[in-house]
Structure 1
Amino acid sequence: MPMSSSESSTALKRTVIVALFAAVAVVLSIVEAQIPLAGMGLMPGAKLGFANIMILTCIYFLRARDAFVLVILKTLLTAFLLGTFSSLLFSLFGSLFSFVVMYLLVRFGGKRLSVIGISIAGGLAHNTGQLLAASIVLKSSSTFYYFPMLLITGVVTGIVVGFAVRYVVASLSKISLFEEFLGGTGH
């Protein structure tokens, strides 16, 4: 059955939004890569998770599959642009864990959970996913030595990302392109 004009328009809008969010997520990842966290005693390769701003925002507006496409695009484009293919597995594990946790919390937590709480859970899931990937690659559980520090950074960055998402969602909700997608997790 062919798509109606309205359905076609909505599909195009979704594609445009995912592309815009992917571009912003990649830029945030590039900016984040310039911040030397290893000098702060964090695990090598640790990141602040600024790209999660766009992923969590996408979860609030669009469908799970749209946010999933965004996660994959952001991860692959960032790895390609930053030349970090060796860390692609770590980023992919972390991003997918984070996406699943945040999506489930938004979808089933509804109004009971704050965006900041969901963001913190996403940050913790991202760090856990990366540590699991590292333990698989290195065939050692010694990577979990970093877990306490990553829990702390996951909470702190989750709070920052959560506040940013709250602002971004409120701001985008006022733009006509996003109006029909308000409450997107049910679509």
Structure 2
Amino acid sequence: MKRNVAFIGVFLALALVCSYVESLIPFYFGIPGMKLGLTNIVIIIMLYCMGTKEAYLISVLRVLLAGFLFGNMFSILYSLAGAMLSLSIMTLLKKSSLCKIITVSTIGGICHNVGQLIVAALVVENYNIFYYLPFLLIAGFITGLVIGIAAQETILRVKRFF
């Protein structure tokens, strides 16, 4: 039990560091709110190495803490919606043995953007915002793929510690 608590603390700190580093990277392609998703490496590692409950815990705590430290209430709202939809879908895909880590991450990246877009449409009460959807699907696919490859390689190297 103490070991799990220590791992959760370390992974939460790592997730916050990834959030901070990502906030420093000038990554803008004309789409508001688009990010690399570096923190998802930590979440995927948690999902595959520790478990679903731990991944949800780290995800929620990271969104709240990063939002208070580096963002605002809207960033927390958007990020939480994207993170919960993404993690829920990734959890379901992980349970089916058909999907590999890279596929789970890629679909998770897409779902994260869809979750944020749904909340944005509800907040601004304008559904024209869905014109961003094709761009966000492509961005989610690319970043999810890159994050999936990084997470898979990391899991291969650290799995023995779990």
In the superposition, the TM-score normalised over structure 1's length comes to 0.82
CA–CA distance in 2 between the matches of 1:146 and 1:88? 20
Q: Which residue of 1 aligns with 2:19?
A: 29
Which secondary structure does the structure 2 equivalent of 1:173 belong to?
Answer: helix
CA–CA distance in 1 between the matches of 2:75 and 2:156? 33
Counterpart check, 1:160 vs 2:138 = no
RMSD: 1.2
Runs of 4 or more consecutive aligned structure 1 residues displaced over 3 Å after TM superposition: none
Aligned residues: 162
In the superposition, the TM-score normalised over structure 2's length comes to 0.94
Instruction: Name structure 2 gaps, 5 residues minimum.
Output: none
Alignment match of 1:82 (pick from 48, 56, 70)? 70
- Supply the AA of the counterpart residue of 2:102: I
Give, in angstroms, the shift of residue 19 of structure 1: 1.5
Q: Which residue of 1 aligns with 2:113?
A: 127
Q: Which residue of 2 aligns with 1:8?
A: none
Compare CA radii of gyration and give the structure with the larger one.
Answer: 1
Q: Which residue of 1 aligns with 2:33?
A: 45
Q: Which residue of 2 aligns with 1:12?
A: 2
1:25-50 CA distance string (max 9 Å, x none): 11111111122233x22x21211111
Counterpart check, 1:102 vs 2:79 = no
Percent sequence identity over aligned pairs: 37
1:50-87 CA distance string (max 9 Å, x none): 10101111010122211110111110111111033321
Deviates more, 1:83-92 or 1:70-79: 83-92
Alignment match of 2:58 (pick from 70, 78, 89)? 70
